[in-house]
Amino acid sequence: MGQFQSQIGYAACEVCTPGWYSTSGQFECLQCPEGKYSPIPVLVGGDWNTPSHLDWTLDTSRVYKRRRNLPLPVSLAMKDAGFTDTYRIVEPNPVQSPGLTWSPMFRMSGEKDQGFERIDRIYLKDPVFGGSDGSEQDQPAAAATLQPRRAAVYPLVWESDEIPVLERSFPSDHGAVLVEFDWVTSATR
């Protein structure tokens, strides 16, 4: 289990502990040591190298020829751990706002078309309000929560894959997920 440290309202979950490189070790580190309750919001983001179950739906299977409704395990594990996908909070429709992050650089792999996916995500685990039975008796109220307000993927327009990498305005092989949050305090709730 990773170390949970709280300092002036911020927390860090240290994932570089023995076993951090295994999938189960990573998810254990994302669990708060007190159980489900955490007095502060936790953000986890990065390159997940796998699409989300929120993007592989019946609706998206009608638009993308290789998709179907799939219960993809990584994003479901994050959901089960109490995390929400911040991009999908702001942009809930994966057909209208696919949020593709793979890959703004590559369009073809040999003679095959590349698959385009949203594999870079930011997850939020907000404080739990109330006890394990739904009451507020056994847990203190959280002082503040985070509310995703806006989300986008950069670059907004993908450059031609014929432009040399060093000449591109955005030379990464992954798109950047940008999410703007509002602090919501107990005074503003």
- CA atoms of 97 and 149, how far apart (whole Å): 15
Give the mean pLDDT of the chain.
Answer: 75
pLDDT single digits (tens) 71-92: 999 999 999 988 999 999 999 9
b/e string for 141-157 if b means 16 or more Cβ within 10 A? ebebbbbbeebbbeeee
pLDDT single digits (tens) 149-160: 999 999 888 788
- CA atoms of 42 and 38, how far apart (whole Å): 8
- Asked if the model's pLDDT at residue 174 lies above 70, the reply is yes
How far the first Cα of the chain sits from its last, in Å, is: 33
3-state secondary structure of 143: coil
Q: Which of 45-49, 116-120, 147-151, 159-163 has the lowest mean pLDDT?
A: 159-163
For the whole prediction, is pTM greater than 0.75? no
Give the range with max mean pLDDT: 24-28, 162-166, 184-188: 162-166
Q: Residue 13's pLDDT band (boundaries 50, 70, 90)?
A: very low
Residue 173 has a pLDDT of 82
Q: Which of 2-11, 67-76, 122-131 has the lowest mean pLDDT?
A: 2-11
Mean of pLDDT values over 108-132:
71
